Structure 1
């Protein structure tokens, strides 16, 4: 069994309120959970307007499959123009 976790520190330059930030974050998290073998959550900086940390976790039998799912989650972040990934950290268990 392989467990992969990816954490990303992100910046939302165009967010001027927590409501705008939540709209972007919830859209990404909802898309990541639907139809994918992922758990997704905002894990840090919940009260900051333009900063966040997102985490995605996946469990599987092969590292290649887990890595593919985590890469799809990161692609969802990169697809949105309102948010930019600053740092990305992988952990394997």
Structure 2
């Protein structure tokens, strides 16, 4: 069994309130987890309106499908114009 965790720190340069930030973050988390073997959550900077830390976790029998799921989640962030990844960290258990 392989557990993959990716944590990424992001900046939301266009957000001017926590409400705007949470709208973007909730959309990303929902899209990442919908119908996939993946859990997603905002794990840091919940009270800061231009910064977020997101975590994605996937469990699988081998590393390749887990990497694929985590990469798909990061692509969702990268295609959004209102959010930018500034630091990404992988962890394998």
TM (normalized to structure 1)? 0.99
Q: Secondary structure at the match of 2:69?
A: helix
Give the ranges of 4+ consecutive aligned residues of structure 1 lying more than 6 Å apart after TM superposition. none
State the partner residue of 2:92: 92
State the partner residue of 1:43: 43
- Deviations 1:29-71, CA, capped at 9 Å, x for gaps: 0001101110000000000010000000000001000000000
In the TM superposition, 1:1-93 aligns within 5 A as: 1-93=1-93
Looking at structure 1, the residues matched to 42 and 31 of structure 2 have their Cα atoms a distance apart, in angstroms, of: 14
Q: Secondary structure at the match of 1:36?
A: coil
How many residue pairs match? The answer is 93
Q: Secondary structure at the match of 1:26?
A: helix
Looking at structure 2, the residues matched to 91 and 79 of structure 1 have their Cα atoms a distance apart, in angstroms, of: 23
Looking at structure 2, the residues matched to 21 and 70 of structure 1 have their Cα atoms a distance apart, in angstroms, of: 22
Q: Secondary structure at the match of 1:29?
A: helix
Q: Secondary structure at the match of 1:80?
A: coil
Unaligned runs of 5+ in 1: none
TM (normalized to structure 2)? 0.99
